Amino acid sequence: MKIFEQAGIDRMKLFLDYASKRQQVINSNIANIETPGYQAKELNFEHIFQEASLEQGLGMSLKRTHEGHLGGKPELIRETGRLAASGTDALGNDLNNVDMDREMTQLAQNVLKFSAVAQLVQRKLAAIRSAIQGG
């Protein structure tokens, strides 16, 4: 519905979906902390939302300064969030590179971001409901 698009709820829903997927990746890393040879994974996507918000919200267009950079087109949001190796060095003799402190930090950050966006969605929906009811 157009009213939800104008309120930004569609982008917030997409963010919540990605945060949920990131939670699964972090949980998988933690579950495999003692698996020999396991390489931690990451799922990063925030920069895409920031770029899309800048372009849409402020009327600015983003400029690619390097061929490896993503453009600021909103349709790219659905194509990003690819799973990648974390790039951290192996911590033990078993070649496992899961760092529990790092994973717990990412977990806490992800939960905070998810909660903040979920509250924003709740407030937007309450404002729409209030407008519909005439209050």
Q: pLDDT tens-digit profile of 7-29?
A: 688 888 889 999 999 999 999 99
Q: What is the pLDDT of residue 105?
A: 95
Q: What is the pLDDT of residue 48?
A: 65
Q: What is the pLDDT of residue 29?
A: 95
Q: Which residues of the chain have pLDDT under 50?
A: 55, 57-61, 72-80
Q: What is the pLDDT of residue 43?
A: 87
Q: What residues does each domain of the chain span? A: 2-45+81-133
Provide the residue type at 82 as one letter: R
Q: What is the pLDDT of residue 19?
A: 93
From CA 24, how far away is CA 51, in angstroms rounded? 25
Q: What is the pLDDT of residue 79?
A: 41
From CA 103, how far away is CA 100, in angstroms rounded? 5
Q: Which residue has the tokens 């267009």?
A: 61
Continuous segment of H or E residues that includes residue 43 = strand 41-43
Q: Do residues 131 and 124 make contact, with C-beta atoms less than 8 angstroms apart?
A: no
Sign of the torsion formed by the C-alpha atoms of 67, 70, 74 and 76: positive
Q: What is the pLDDT of residue 77?
A: 37
Q: What is the pLDDT of residue 60?
A: 43
Phi-psi region of 64 (alpha: psi -120 to 50; beta: other; left: phi over 0): beta
Q: What is the pLDDT of residue 90?
A: 65
Q: What is the pLDDT of residue 67?
A: 66
Q: What is the pLDDT of residue 10?
A: 85
